[in-house]
Amino acid sequence: MEIKIAVLPGDGIGPEIIEQGLKVIKTVCTRFGHNLKYREGLVGAAAIDAAGHPYPEETHQLCMESDAVFFGAIGDPKYDNNPAASVRPEQGLLQMRKSLGLYANIRPVATFPSLVHTSPLRTELVEGADFICIRELTGGLYFGRPQGRSEDGNTAYDTCIYTREEIERILRLAYRYAGARRNKLTVVDKANVLATSRLWRQVAQEIAGEYPKVETEFMFVDNAAMRIIQWPKSFDVIVTENMFGDILTDEASVITGSLGMLPSASIGLHTSVFEPIHGSYPQAAGKNIANPIATILSAALMFEYAFELQREAAAIRNAVASALANGIVTEDISASGSKACKTTEVGDFINEVINC
């Protein structure tokens, strides 16, 4: 079939990890007889420099015309700690999510048997952990208005807003996921303090009866932060608002051994976006040391979600498992005493396994 995708490398390590991911996508397409058509677009700091905007209209058109977006990372330290910067690279990512209507961010957290020893958590706690975090992606503090500063600059404010419709559509999606898995949904909120959280809880209670097979559990976010690393195996599907989901999934990556391992799929009204959950890791940019696996696993999610091609996704996952089992890994997950591989070496190995 035709695989028509937009490729947005972005900033920092983005171009390096996307190069490895794209290599894998090309190999999968050749091996399974698909016709790959891709075009690259600008986003983030790279787009500000070249086009004066972090998500240029041209990039948006490209995304809208594609069947999936393969995205690297965004962010550049020259904009951090710079309150005067009027435009930030991250705005490009947020605008892309909003304009494409990507209200759900699916972040699967699963351990690889050959990696359990690299997690700082005890093996018996993380072995077999397998849950999905569904993060609401176009509401809450990230998008609520007003946001800004008082005239004298001494007061700043953000607004957390959620409507019933926004809450209901993400909860229903989460119930469907839980129903297709182990029938347990954990709704994470801060209902003891926040009005938005109380609305989340109310809507969840109202619709829970429509999913009788699924057990609904409510958990405060502070408690969830503890439970995720204390007893990760107790979760099946977690659903939560935008900011809580952002924080909890970085934390959850510790279970798998590295932030460089977690892929994600952002889905909603228009073209879906597939991207690693990690950022642009500027300290590593250009050094060929970044872990490309989160990006390569995002390509697997892309074949599965955007094109319903399960065998292609499985081929990628098996090749990743083989790299891990053979110790062909970057420094973030290499065993102490053994030599770490470069980004390109990991990509090449995975590519070869898919090819044979």
Q: Give the residue numbers annotated as catalytic, written as ranges.
A: 142, 190, 222, 246, 250
Q: Which is nearer to ligand IPM, 108 or 315 (CB)?
A: 108
Amino acid (1-letter code) at residue 202: Q
If one asks whether residue 246 binds Mn ion (CB under 5 A), the answer comes out as yes
Q: Which of 265, 310, 299, 276 is nearest to 134 (CA)?
A: 265
Asked whether the bond before 56 is cis by omega within 30 degrees of 0, the reply is: no
Which residue bears the tokens 């016709």? 35
String of contacts with ligand IPM for each residue 265-304, x by CB under 6 A: ------------x-x-------------------------
Query: Residue 90 or 312: which CB sits closer to ligand IPM?
Result: 90
Q: Which of 75, 108, 140, 232 binds ligand IPM (CB under 6 A)?
A: 75
Closest distance to Mn ion from the beta carbon of 97 (Å): 12
Look up tokens 């005067």; give the residue: 84
Please report, to the nearest 10 degrees, the dihedral formed by the alpha carbons of residues 290, 351, 307, 11 taken in order. Answer: 20
Binding positions for Mn ion, 155-194, rule CB under 5 A: none
What are 127's strand-pairing partners?
A: none
Report yes or no: 279 and 252 within 8 Å, Cβ to Cβ.
no
Please name the amino acid found at residue 210. Answer: E
**Least Å distance between CB 316 and ligand IPM?**
21
State which H helix or E strand residue 131 sits in.
strand 130-136
Among residues 346, 351, 320, 319, the alpha carbon closest in space to that of 331 is found at: 346
**Residue of 11, 76, 90, 312 that binds ligand IPM (CB under 6 A):** 90
Contact region for Mn ion (CB under 5 A) — 82-90, 127-135, 245-253, 287-295? 245-253
Residues binding ligand IPM: what is the number (CB under 6 A)? Answer: 7
User: Under the rule (CB under 5 A), what is the footprint of Mn ion?
Assistant: 246
Enumerate binding residues for ligand IPM (CB under 6 A). Answer: 74-75, 90, 93, 246, 277, 279
